[in-house]
């Protein structure tokens, strides 16, 4: 027997320890149904969070995206979205539709945020319709599980967007699952 050989009882103990560690990891891993940590400004450590002095008007998440609509002190709205899978983010001007949804546009792609869903479209073609799993509206103090609302998708006029490059993803946004944009 060499100095590096492992006896059967030691190998068995090693296998049991590895299995126990794997099970413990599963017990402590966040579940797909658990909402990201949030407060009144949006999701903590996320692009989908409003920086002071702006305030969150609404914020929510889908299986693959997190979004927030922020209002500046002068009333301008900003869409702040992130695709969790790879941390791709979009920060651009937004506006409120007549039926209470919020819309942002960048490079011909429209992002419509309602209590029901995040709809990503190009013209009349829907690229993705992601149901909201969690949705918060300013002043309510609690999250709601979205229900179909019959909200229409009326579109406001387009607003100019910034071409300033964005910094790298925040830690909470790297390595998630899904393939949606934010």
Query: Does 8 map to a domain?
Result: no
pLDDT tens for each residue of 99-155: 999 999 999 999 999 999 999 999 999 999 999 999 999 876 555 554 444 443 333
Task: Give the Cα separation of 101 and 95 in Å (integer).
Answer: 9
Query: Does 87 map to a domain?
Result: yes
Query: Does 147 map to a domain?
Result: yes
Query: Does 83 map to a domain?
Result: yes
Query: Does 4 map to a domain?
Result: no
Q: What is the model's pLDDT at position 36?
A: 84
Neighbours of 93 (CB within 10 A): 16
pTM of the full predicted structure? 0.63
Residue 34: pLDDT band with limits 50, 70, 90: confident
Start-end of H helices in the chain: 8-28
Total domain count, the chain: 1
Exposed, middle or buried, 170 (CB in 10 Å: 0-12/13-18/19+)?
middle
Q: Which domain holds residue 83?
A: 38-173
For residues 36-52, average pLDDT: 90
Query: Does 160 map to a domain?
Result: yes
Query: Does 12 map to a domain?
Result: no
Query: Does 115 map to a domain?
Result: yes
């Amino acid at each position: 027997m060499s100095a590096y050989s492992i006896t059967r009882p030691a190998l068995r103990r090693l296998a049991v320890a590895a299995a126990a560690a794997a099970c413990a990891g599963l017990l402590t891993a966040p579940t797909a149904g658990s909402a990201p940590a949030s407060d009144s400004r949006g999701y903590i450590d996320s692009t989908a969070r409003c920086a002071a002095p702006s305030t969150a008007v609404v914020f929510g998440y889908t299986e693959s995206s997190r979004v927030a609509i922020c209002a500046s002190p002068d009333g301008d709205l900003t869409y702040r979205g992130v695709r969790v899978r790879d941390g791709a983010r979009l920060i651009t001007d937004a506006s409120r539709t007549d039926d209470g949804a919020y819309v942002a546009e960048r490079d011909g792609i429209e992002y419509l945020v309602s209590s029901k869903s995040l709809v990503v479209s190009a013209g009349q073609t829907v690229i993705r319709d992601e149901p909201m799993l969690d949705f918060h509206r300013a002043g309510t103090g609690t999250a709601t599980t979205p229900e179909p609302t019959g909200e229409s998708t009326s579109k406001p006029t387009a607003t100019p967007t910034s071409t300033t490059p964005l910094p790298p993803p925040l830690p909470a946004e790297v390595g998630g699952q899904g393939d949606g944009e934010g």
